[in-house]
Amino acid sequence: MNNATPRFAVIGHPVAHSRSPQIHAAFAEQVGISLVYDRIDAAPDAFANTVEYFFSTGGQGLNVTVPFKEEAWQLAQNRLSDRARLAAAVNTLWQTDAGLHGCNTDGIGLVRDLQRLGLLAPGARVLLLGAGGAAKGVIGPLLDTDCERLHVANRTAPRAQSLLQAWLQQQPAHAERLTAGAIDPALSEQSWDLVINATASSLQGQSLDLPTELYRPDTAVYDMMYGPTPTAFLTQAATHGVTRLADGLGMLVEQAAESFFIWHGARPQTTPVIETIRSQMTATVR
């Protein structure tokens, strides 16, 4: 490596656990390019200065993870992609002569993984659990799949309704397909093709207080979180007879692939990278 080698990084706090360097190194090897990809642990009050320093010293692109996605959105406010504008969060930054640009690849990463796994088809009825930033970032790409209905359910109904109203102010045409409310028994009375967990419950090793009989035998269940063993959410679904289960490792790799494409103009293969990381995680618990 020399000083001309393009530099990239993931920035967050904490960030030592991030698999982004491994993922982007694998992508670069696939397409035959050289790059340096680091981790940057930024202090909570130093994000903007850290980003400015990175690009002013020749950095080419940043992946942004918690807790800085909304702040990244503010920094790139003048040059946001449509996905980032609607999500009100940015996970991909790059610099041109015009200034700082921002995009959100989380939603398209989720959709591509769901399609790769055969869990999402046009006309699906989708239940999205959670109304925080993770949910907000995937609503647009999910609606773009022509799902019949997307319902956002949250522990507290007002937060879900607030997300809904904010979205419909920008995209009123989605009013017939996008709904929101509380996680309550009424959800069991409806038929869902796909249930997605966008809450942080699995990070805390906790299952959700979901209505009984929420799932049908053919319902697909997806957790945005991932780990070496099934998450609490997936384990809970399995006890209700669900067999079509997947965690968010593929989403992680797919959203990275979209960032890679934005930066390099090359689209890498994701399945080999997902399989490699999965094997590595599985080996750690043997």
Please give the positions annotated as active site.
Answer: 69
Q: What are the residues facing 37 on neighbouring strands?
A: 8
Residue 233: count of CB within 10 angstroms of its CB = 26
Closest CA to 9 of 63, 51, 48: 63
The residues near 2 (Cβ < 8 Å, ≥ 6 apart) are: none
Cα separation of 167 and 239, whole Å?
Answer: 34
Closest CA to 140 of 114, 160, 110, 183: 110
- Give the C-alpha distances (Å, rounded to integers) separating 56 from 42, 74, 117, 262: 16, 18, 40, 20
* CA atoms in the 13 A half-sphere facing the CB of 270: 23
For the record, the structure tokens of 135 come out as: 């949910």
**From its phi and psi, is residue 232 left (phi > 0), alpha (psi between -120 and 50) or beta?**
alpha
User: How do beta strands 194-197 and 220-223 pair?
Assistant: parallel
Cα separation of 286 and 283, whole Å?
Answer: 5
φ, ψ of residue 100 in degrees (nearest 5): -85, 135
